[in-house]
Amino acid sequence: MKKFRIFLSLFMIGIAIIFLAAKKFMKNDTPALNEKGILSEIHYLPLGDSYTIGTGASVETSWPQLLSNQLNAEGVKTFLAVNPARNGFSTQDLIDYELPVLEKSDANFVTLLIGVNDWVRSVDKTTFEKNYGIILTAIQKKLDANKNRILLVTIPDFGVTPAGKNYSGGRDISKGIQEFNAVIKNYAAKYKLPLVDIYDISLKMKDDSTLVADDGLHPSAKEYAEWEKLIFADAKKLLVK
């Protein structure tokens, strides 16, 4: 019971941080337009879980921060004011706690990497598919004219990490993750959205310990950087016409 109370307290603190940070990303300023009337500033909001917040490394070396840095370096003026992703978040958590941040934001570009915790918690494929659809619908409604500025990212295979098997629940991790990734790929095709598949590159964590964080489960900063290289290529295509 004591452990549960501690967990609950930490969870609520995390939620509070999300909403406090969101104040920096509220509807205060309208993104500037260039002489052609095209948005000249990217207000970027990453949605997801531990993989998006950079667990195992740091917020500074998380792939969304690296992506923002590289876009700016390439001349794409990008603002990443808040990263609402949190450890352990499922699609339902994202709906409950991250979509409200999105709604209050000025975001005109969103990345989405979510689903691993659904699988860990034995959420069935049908529920995952339903929730993912709810999330995409909400993002597109918010982005409105920029509704195609959504970059989907597949779920990495944590089963290849040293501690991954501890979260299998006696199931085949690789098979389960690939089934959920099939759902994501179907949505990408249905909505005609760009998809970055990091599944294969995540498999390298099996044979290279430098790609795994000290916790034996999450990616290291080096692995996150590898993901960002793939994500950046598609983000640039999406944002620079």
Question: Can you give the pLDDT at residue 66?
Answer: 99
In degrees to the nearest 10, what's the CA dihedral of 41, 26, 49, 52?
Answer: 30
Question: Can you give the pLDDT at residue 72?
Answer: 97
Say which residues have a Cβ less than 8 Å from residue 116's Cβ, sequence separation at least 6.
49, 50, 51, 155, 156, 158, 177
Question: Can you give the pLDDT at residue 40?
Answer: 76
Question: Can you give the pLDDT at residue 93?
Answer: 99
Question: Can you give the pLDDT at residue 225?
Answer: 99
The tokens for 179 are 């089934």
Question: Can you give the pLDDT at residue 135?
Answer: 99
Residues 89, 128 contacting (CB under 8 angstroms): no
Task: Give the Cα separation of 39 and 11 in Å (integer).
Answer: 36
Question: Can you give the pLDDT at residue 39?
Answer: 53
3-state SS, residue 127: helix
The tokens for 87 are 């450890």
Domain ranges for the chain: 2-239
pLDDT 10s digit of each residue in the chain, 241 long?
A: 443 344 444 444 455 444 444 444 444 444 444 443 335 799 999 999 999 999 999 999 999 999 999 999 999 999 998 999 999 999 999 999 999 999 999 999 999 999 999 999 999 999 999 999 999 999 999 999 999 999 999 999 999 999 999 999 999 999 999 999 999 999 999 999 999 999 999 999 999 999 999 999 999 999 999 999 999 999 999 999 7
- CATH class of segment(s) 2-239: alpha beta
Question: Can you give the pLDDT at residue 241?
Answer: 75
In degrees to the nearest 10, what's the CA dihedral of 144, 147, 149, 154?
Answer: 140
CB-side exposure of 160: number of CA atoms within 13 Å? 20
Task: Give the Cα separation of 50 and 239 in Å (integer).
Answer: 25
> pTM of the prediction?
0.86
